[in-house]
Structure 1
Amino acid sequence: MAPKLAVFKLASCDGCQLTLLDCEDELLALAGEVEIAHFLEATSTVQPGPYDLSLVEGSVTTPSDAERIRQIRAASRHLVTIGACATAGGIQSLRNFADVDEFRRTVYAHPEYIETLATSTPVSAHVDVDFELRGCPIDRRQLIEVLTAFLAGRKPDIPDHSVCFECKRRGTVCVTVAHGTPCLGPVTHAGCGALCPAYHRGCFGCFGPSGSVNLPALIPVLRRDGMDDEAVERFLHTFNAPAFDKELGK
């Protein structure tokens, strides 16, 4: 019997699920090796668990999310979180630094109908996770590697070095050294292929902190390149804000 694959969504934009659909030829080959039991982005057919491998996109932002992820974990032999929302809380985790009740009163005509948590948290804050695949969105090559690894019963071969390594590998001139452009590449997990530096832009940290992070050493460089304290904070508070704050001990 083919192993069962399930894909679930919590609070997110669906971008990481679309990355899986964009795999096209690889997805067709994968469909011949697994039974896609739950993937609402692709099919309305839903089969009950247990599932051999579940991919979860999105952060936990409501009480129902918290309950649902516990149910998914219970029904899954392996659970892999995909994308910045699921691995770090995502852009919506900016609420963690503000008053959610004030947002609710300001945005909604009837805030009493909105049920939400005070924070947006990664899946790993609620259940055990077997692997976290970073990115906003995730990289299709890394996704195929993770799927292949779990189906083969081995550990995924996903490097934890920084974006700087990818810049050097593709021969991209360092935008910070050459132009004084603020860049999070030295502290950001590789996986994007150093896309932004290749187009003369600084890295924005889409993939979260790398395996060896020295943020205290980078911040003076950002200040040297024209950023004040407020600008540095905004720079770090994007796709993976809680993860970078954690590296700073906040």
Structure 2
Amino acid sequence: MTRPVQPRKPGRPRLGVFKFASCDGCQLTLLDCEDELLAIAEDIEVAHFLEASSDIGRGPYDLSLVEGSITTAEDAERIRRIRADSRHLVTIGACATAGGVQALRNYADVAEYLQVVYARPDYIATLATSTPISAHVPVDFELRGCPIDRSQLLEVITAFLAGRKPGVPNHSVCFSCKRRGTVCVTVAHGTPCLGPVTHAGCGAICPAYGRGCYGCFGPAATTNLPALVPLMHRDGMSDEEIGRCLHTFNVTAFTALEDAVGEEDPP
């Protein structure tokens, strides 16, 4: 799919930050950069970032960061406009890269949800599914996490503004555990953990405190789910419990992984 390249405006590169269906946590990660953000702000123009300023600068943008999933027809139209106004578009967080926890709706009856949650469901206009940004427009880079890691976010911003590929690791959480010297919670304590199949980025926080990985950063580039499932069974988890463990922040991504494994299994 081809698209016109937006012309650069003279002066500092222009940054746009946009929100769709999400909790704002990934945008707050950008604000939490504090001193680092101030240093970057000297070299860029923050043209659109409603979480930080009510000033609205129109495109084109040299780099657009997009948080949140597409859940309404209006969102689907708006992301196409943002894409057309952006030289580079980067999705940030599990909602934007995989549909988020709200993508659980994809496997249920949305009309039933509306009846339970809203007093007047007829006032609510929503799509039946929650989908990642990449399902609607081309994306230049996906930054995983729920929420994203601040160091990785700064690396992505500086990389795109410098015209190079972001140096974001693509290994699993298990690799991070080994680097920080954390004892494997599964081997040592029989604690179920998604670390072997989860993309690194959090610094292996949960295993460092004796808890299993929850899969916040989605599937790693190379995963061996068929090898992990027997380990989780050994630790006392049923198939239903394993499914619930996988179907959280990145439900669509892990479901796609499960489906691919299922297709490889003999009938």
Once the two structures are superposed, the pairs formed by residues 120-135 of structure 1 within 5 Å of their partners are: 120-135=130-145
Work out the CA distance in 2 between the residues paired with 1:107 and 1:15.
23
Q: Distance in 1 between matches of 2:178 and 2:107?
A: 35
Aligned to 1:160: 170
Q: Which residue of 2 aligns with 1:6?
A: 16
| Superposition pairs of residues 185-196 of structure 1, within 5 angstroms | 185-196=195-206
Alignment of 1:220-239 (within 5 A): 220-239=230-249
Identity, in percent, stands at 74
The aligned counterpart of 2:120 is 110
In structure 2, the residue matched to 1:23 is: 33
| 1:108 shift after superposition | 1.2
Find the partner of 2:189 among 150, 155, 179: 179
The match for 1:57 is 67
Question: 1:66, CA displacement in angstroms?
Answer: 0.6
**Whole-Å Cα distance in 2 between the matches of residues 31 and 44 of structure 1?**
17
Which residue pairs with 1:208 in the alignment? Answer: 218
Kindly state the Cα deviation for residue 248 of structure 1 after the two structures are TM-superposed: 1.3
Q: 1: CA distance between counterparts of 2:112 and 2:210?
A: 39
d(CA) in 2 for partners of 1:191 and 1:244? 17
Is the aligned partner of 1:69 residue 2:74? no
Does residue 92 in structure 1 map to residue 102 in structure 2?
yes
Deviation at 1:220, TM superposition (A): 1.2
What is the CA distance between 1:73 and its match in structure 2? 0.4
C-alpha RMSD of matched pairs (Å):
0.7
User: Any idea what SS the aligned residue of 2:259 has?
Assistant: coil
Q: What do the CA deviations read for 1:100-130 (whole angstroms, capped 9, x no partner)?
A: 0111112112111101011101000100000
Structure 2 portions without partners, runs of 5+: 1-10, 261-267
Residue matched to 1:139: 149
Distance in structure 1 (CA, Å) of the matches to 2:170 and 2:126: 33
Distance 1:70 1:158 in 2: 26
1:247 aligns with 2:236: no
Distance in 2, Cα, partners of 1:113 & 1:220: 46
**Residue 199 of structure 1: how far off its partner (Å):** 0.1
Q: Distance in 1 between matches of 2:79 and 2:166?
A: 23
TM-score (norm 1): 0.99
State the alpha-carbon separation in 2 of the partners of residues 70 and 162 from structure 1: 32
SS at match of 1:248: helix
Task: Report the Cα offset of residue 196 of structure 1.
Answer: 0.1
Does residue 45 in structure 1 map to residue 36 in structure 2?
no
2: CA distance between counterparts of 1:115 and 1:167? Answer: 44
In the TM superposition, what is the alpha-carbon distance from 1:45 to its structure 2 partner? 0.7
- Alignment partners' CA distance in 2, 1:11 and 1:175: 34
Q: CA deviation at 1:215?
A: 1.1
Q: Distance in 2 between matches of 1:240 and 1:11?
A: 14
CA distance in 2, matches of 1:167, 1:25: 28
What TM-score does the superposition give when structure 2 sets the normalisation length?
Answer: 0.93
Q: Give the ranges of 4+ consecutive aligned residues of structure 1 lying more than 2 Å apart after TM superposition.
A: none
State the one-letter code of the partner of 2:92.
Answer: I
Counterpart Cα distance in 1 of 2:146 and 2:122: 32
Residue identity in the other structure for 2:223: V
1:29, 1:13 → 2: CA distance? Answer: 26
Whole-Å separation in 1 of the counterparts to 2:123 and 2:180: 51
Q: Distance in 2 between matches of 1:66 and 1:221?
A: 41
